[in-house]
Amino acid sequence: MNHSVKTRKLSRTRRGRTALLRGLAADLIVKGKIKTTAAKAKELRPFAERLVSYGKRGTVSARRLAATSLGEPRAQVITKLFDELGPRFAERNGGYTRVIKLGLTKAGREESVIEFV
């Protein structure tokens, strides 16, 4: 039994999971909507929402925290996070993302779309 385990392993090592979440979060910020498996979308949601909370703060320290969380991302990602998404969700107290289930693929995976509200 896995007591008090809150994250999914996603069949990866810790470094692999971190790299996966960073890449998915960067794509979500740039594109605004991505299609992935349901497990990955559910795991990405708190990670992305924390980044948007940093974007709402808008301080230099928040920029550094976001850049660290994303693993030195492209400047375009940080710019969009702080210049577009932060002000867009300024009045909202959480719940910045939405996960919509699309159903099973032929391979038997549950697919979902994760997007900003």
The third-level CATH classification (topology) of the domain covering 14-116 is: 50s Ribosomal Protein L17; Chain: A, (3.90.1030)
Q: What whole-number distance in Å separates Cα of residue 43 and Cα of residue 9?
A: 10
Domain-by-domain residue ranges, the chain?
14-116
**40-94 residue pLDDT tens:** 999 999 999 999 999 999 999 999 999 999 998 889 999 999 999 999 999 999 9
Q: What whole-number distance in Å separates Cα of residue 12 and Cα of residue 49?
A: 22
Position 6 scores a pLDDT of 86
**37-51 residue pLDDT tens:** 999 999 999 999 999
Closest CA to 114 of 106, 102, 103, 105: 102
Q: What whole-number distance in Å separates Cα of residue 64 and Cα of residue 62?
A: 5
pTM (predicted TM-score) = 0.92
Q: Do residues 112 and 101 lie in contact, with contact meaning Cβ atoms separated by under 8 Å?
A: yes
Q: What is the mean pLDDT of the chain?
A: 95
Query: Scanning the structure block, which residue is given the tokens 């660290």?
Result: 68
Closest CA to 35 of 103, 113, 117: 113
Position 56 scores a pLDDT of 97
